[in-house]
Structures are given as C-alpha cells and as structure tokens.
Structure 1
C-alpha cells in the first residue's frame, strides 16, 4: 500500500467516526484544554490534532492557521467566563429593579470575574489573547440579549438605573472604568506584583475593590 493510499484510508476512517462539524468542535475543545494548562501560547494546531486523534492536515480544513484556532479558543474561553457570570447573577434572588438585589447582582458579576481569573488563569489569559479576531458580543438568539461579560455588566448597570441606585446621567460609558478596575485587580493578583498575596488578604482586596465600585455608583 502506498503512503497516499494509507492517508486516504485514514481520512475516510476519520469521516466515518465523526459527524460533520465534530472535528472542528473537537479541535476547539482541545485548544481550550491546552489553554487551560498553559495559556494562549500553548494553543498549537499540531498539538490540538494530536489530542483529538486526527492527522495534522485535518485541522486545515477548519482553520487556515494557528491564529484562527486561537481566535476560536479565545471566543470559547470568553463564553465560559460569561457563563460563570450568568450563573452568579442567577443565584441572586430579587425582582428586577429591586435596589438591594441589583447591587448584589453587580457584586456577583465582579466576584465571578475574579474567581474565573484566579481558578482558570490559562483560560483567562486566552480570553483576551486575540481581541482583533473575534467579536466580544454573544447575543442570545431567543432573547436578543448580549450574554458576553460586557453585555451582562451593562444589563446590571441599566437595572441599577431603573432601581434608582445609579443616576441616569452617569450611566453612559460607566461600564468601562468598572471593567477596567476589576480586570486590573485580576491581573495584579494573577501575574502581577500582588500574585503572592495570601488568600485572606487577596479576598479582602477583592471585597474592597467591589465595595469601592458599588459605593462609587451612588456618589454624585
């Protein structure tokens, strides 16, 4: 049997084993695991194909190059962060527009963000690895709501306006300094000068930061 014949049979076997789209999804899942273990630099096409169990050339049917795979992994990591934030918000009881509940939902978003950065540093780094190659919006087809981390933050801030906590005149663009503050703390305690901070002290810093944000929303 020639090398070409062997390769052809291998490709046919792969097609029999996997339905359409399964190889791409599997490569993205493999890329996520690589990022989880080693950050965005660990996401390599050849290593992803090895984990999936397909020949290296199979990846190029779905991704033009390594950057396209990394972009897909980036988007998937961002969705995982968004899912954690949504789960945290869902655990908060209270109707929309209730001031106390809206404050707790804002806190839940910040807490989930910081927990994800701490528990999944590789995925957190991957989520922001190639921002120019994917959209941060994650619109739900049924509700039309933006389920991305930024979209969820905006929704809670809008609720705080409805609840009378945040002055409507201060609403425009305030999500960006809030996001910057929480993200900055995540980076400082993750790989920055605060990375060796003991758990108790780190928890205090997180609560101090989230409290600073919440109190600042009601300051004229």
Structure 2
C-alpha cells in the first residue's frame, strides 16, 4: 500500500516541477518565484507526517536541483525542502481529528519565510551571494506573498488527494488478512456449533 503513496507523491512532484520550470519560472515576477514545489511538499507533509514529508521534500528538492535551468549547487534545494517537509509533517492532525483551515496557511507562511532564509544561508555557505545582491528582505516578502496567494488553490487539493490515498490504505489494512481470518474462524465455529455431535449422528447414546 506504500506504493500508492509513492506514486501519488511522484506524480504531484513531477507535475509541480514541470509547472514550476515551464510556467512560473518564466513569469519574471519581481522578487522571488512562486514555489509550487514547496506547497506540494507542505500539503503532503500535513497528511503523511514528518517521515513522508521529509522524504518527499528531499526527492522533490533533488529533482529541482538537477532539472535545467538549475544554476545552484546540487543538494541545496533538497536540504531546504527536506527540512520543510519534516516541519510540515509535525503539524499533521491526529487521525480522526480535524484542525482549523488556517493551519495549512500558517504552515505555508512559515515555510515560505524559513525556506527563503535557509536557501540563502546555504547559498552563502557555498559561495552563492545572489540573495545578497537582490536583497533578502525583498525575497522573503515576495516569496511569502506569492506562496500565500497560491496556497488556497494548491494545498487543499494536494491534501485531499493524499487523504484519499491514506484512507484507502488504512481501509485495506483494516480489512486485510486479519479480518479475513477472523471471518473464517467465526464461520467454522458456527458450523461446528450447528452440526450434531458424532455420537448423536450415529444414533448412539451417551
């Protein structure tokens, strides 16, 4: 059943990466670029938890690092999205409990700010000073604005798909071999109880 989660994450990440590179990256908006990959990772982390969010974030970031026209060190964005996915997973609601619709927006806002600062900090460590020339405050504000504008359209849809896969997985686990064994056991017990004993069937008296 883990395969369904992996397939969903792979499809969403690839789709987000294509849109990120071919559409959002070419808009030439002032400041930062809207981060669709970050929104997908946050949405998946809010459903699949810290481990799922961390692994998905690392894979998504690594693909972004390798995809053209990437011009930064490989692993830089993977580290950022890995951390963001883990942190988003920490905000996952317990099974059967619903949280406020504002929680995803708060998580997106925090992720937009922290990811921008962390990306610039990692870049400074490897000698990339682009954020210093552009202006880190401007990048943070624009990233926050763009991601919050996209979040209501992206994050709920991602969470809905992830929850459907997660509920289907849980349902398959509940109705799996365990309940089948119990059902067969009950059928055998009922058949044994309704059938006459061996001595009575042969007309023997005790």
Could you say which TM-score interval applies, normalised by the shorter chain?
0.3 to 0.5
**Structure with bigger gyration radius:** 2
TM-score by length of 2: 0.41
> Would you tell me which structure has more helix in proportion to its own residues?
2
Greater relative contact order (CA < 8 Å, ≥ 6 in sequence): 2
